[in-house]
Amino acid sequence: MADKTIPDFVFPPGGEKPDIGREDLAAVAEAVAALSPEDRTLLAAVQASPFHLTAAEQFREFPDNIDFFVLEPQVKQMEDLGWRYLEQHLDLELTPELRAAIDPVPFGRQAMEEDRGCFTKYGYLSLSGDEWQHEQAAEHGRREAEKKPSIRERLEQSKKECAGKDRVQPVKDKSAPEL
């Protein structure tokens, strides 16, 4: 059975304490316990950032919204971010001489501004641009999917419709052709 305790990174000591009831705390603990180690690291980075989650609903929705955030653990400082930005935007390979002549920090600042990202002890965190999927919308989508007929049901329905069209219907009130 998964551990139902809430790790310290979820509600960091000295941080903003969310107003979550006892039942919701159990739901948060369950949602966090179900995360993979990589997703727990992502959640820890989110909680150490300005993007931190504060409502039980957000924690429950987090597993469906992993792609909402981008964590780059190898990017630890502005210089790293600048080099990543340059590599993404330059079509030429930088020789050691060119690398020595470039200050990557301004490029890192530009990337951070564009990404609206931040540094955490886990790496560089930014938003992916994906839309946050809410529980009600996801649940509605699941219900809609449940209402749709299966492929087999649709095929059977099509067969019935085709079989009905194949039958020749007698034509009423038509006189015989004249000779």
Encode pLDDT of 87-112 as tens digits. Answer: 999 988 888 999 999 999 999 999 99
pLDDT digits (tens, 9 = 90+) for 122-170: 999 999 999 999 876 545 455 555 566 666 666 677 677 767 665 555 5
Query: Of 90, 89, 91, 42, which is closest to residue 62 (Cα–Cα)?
Result: 42
Q: Kindly tell me the sign of the dihedral angle through the C-alpha atoms of 97, 103, 105, 108.
A: negative
Mapped onto helix, strand or coil, the DSSP state of residue 32 is: helix
**For 20-71, how does the pLDDT look when each residue is reduced to its tens digit (9 = 90+)?**
777 778 888 888 888 999 999 999 999 999 999 888 899 899 999 999 999 9
Per-residue model confidence (pLDDT) at position 1: 38
Query: Global pTM?
Result: 0.67
